[in-house]
Amino acid sequence: MVALRQAWLLAVNDLRQEARDLELVLTSTFFSLVVLIMLGMSFSALGISAQPLAVPGMLWLSVAFVGALTLGRIFTREREFDTLRALLVAPVERVSIYLAKAFVTIVILLGCCLITVLGLTLLFPAAQPFAERPLETFALVLMGCTAYAGVGTLFAAGLASSSGKNVLLSVILYPLTMPSLLFALVATRSLLEGHESFLTYLGQLTATNVIAFVVGAWLFEPVLVGVPQQRRGAARAARRRR
């Protein structure tokens, strides 16, 4: 419970800072708009039969690009002001940092998805089901963004704390998040085509979320600061006794 309370406090703190100058919100949503325009220009000639196959890809490609930008920016800021180290030294559960950053990423991504989904609905008639089934669309977008944030937050934080090169973030993020985006893609297609298996695919996407968050939370401390000396020593002692 302490971890969740601290995570909430950190997330609210990040969002409060963001509300003061809106840097991340404005840049990310502007980027979403630019991506949307580029996709619209590239695929405007698509026939109505091909659109249900292309629109899901457009949505989740947009999330992939904006997500990389958002995660990169969130942690570049932490690196710039070295505040991540301050949190790592403070009496804060390390997993709280992970949960807080993932939450903020999800909030930003949801805002960007709002623009992307609205834009796709306006540009492509086959995307009408987004408007006709808003609850399902919201659930789908929420689960997709959550899966992305669950995986991406761990590695963006890891790179920031090890002073790693930012270019490696893209190298890591895109391959790792693609399985989740693949599930999201299939679920989106089934939503647009009115398939009855949409809920099944949404359930599978939710399952990838659970895996991403469980593994991400478990790995956060070992990846960022390593295993504490005490635990390593206990493991060695146990091996010697055996």
226 binds another protein (CB under 8 A): yes
Q: How many CB atoms lie within 10 A of CB 172?
A: 18
Binding part of the chain for another protein, among 32-40, 44-52, 139-147, 219-227 by CB under 8 A, reads 219-227
- How does 120-148 read in b/e, with b if 16+ C-beta sit within 10 Å? bbebbebbebbeebeebbebbbbbbbbbb
**Scanning residues 47 to 76, which ones bind another protein (CB under 8 A)?**
none
Residue from 143, 98, 108, 75 nearest 7 by CA: 98
Sign of the alpha-carbon dihedral angle for 14, 19, 24, 30: positive
Tell me, by CB under 8 A, how many residues bind another protein: 59
Contacts of 152 (CB under 8 A, 6+ apart): 67, 68, 71, 105, 173, 176, 177
Residue from 35, 59, 113, 224 binding another protein (CB under 8 A): 224
222 binds another protein (CB under 8 A): yes
Cβ–Cβ < 8 Å for 50, 56: no
CA–CA gap between residue 176 and residue 178 (Å, rounded): 6
Cβ–Cβ < 8 Å for 104, 70: no
**Scanning residues 81 to 120, which ones bind another protein (CB under 8 A)?**
81-83, 85-86, 88-93
Nearer to another protein, 19 or 135 (CB): 19
Helices (H), 124-166: 128-132, 134-161
Nearer to another protein, 125 or 228 (CB): 228
At closest approach, how far in Å is the CB of 156 from another protein?
A: 10
Structure tokens at 204: 């599978």
Binding part of the chain for another protein, among 29-37, 62-70, 107-115, 153-161 by CB under 8 A, reads 153-161
**Scanning residues 159 to 218, which ones bind another protein (CB under 8 A)?**
159, 161-165, 168, 171-172, 174-176, 178-179, 182, 186, 204, 211, 215
230 binds another protein (CB under 8 A): yes
Nearer to another protein, 49 or 163 (CB): 163
Q: Which residues bind another protein (CB under 8 A)?
A: 2, 5-6, 9-10, 13, 16-17, 20-21, 81-83, 85-86, 88-93, 151, 154-155, 158-159, 161-165, 168, 171-172, 174-176, 178-179, 182, 186, 204, 211, 215, 219, 222-233, 235-236
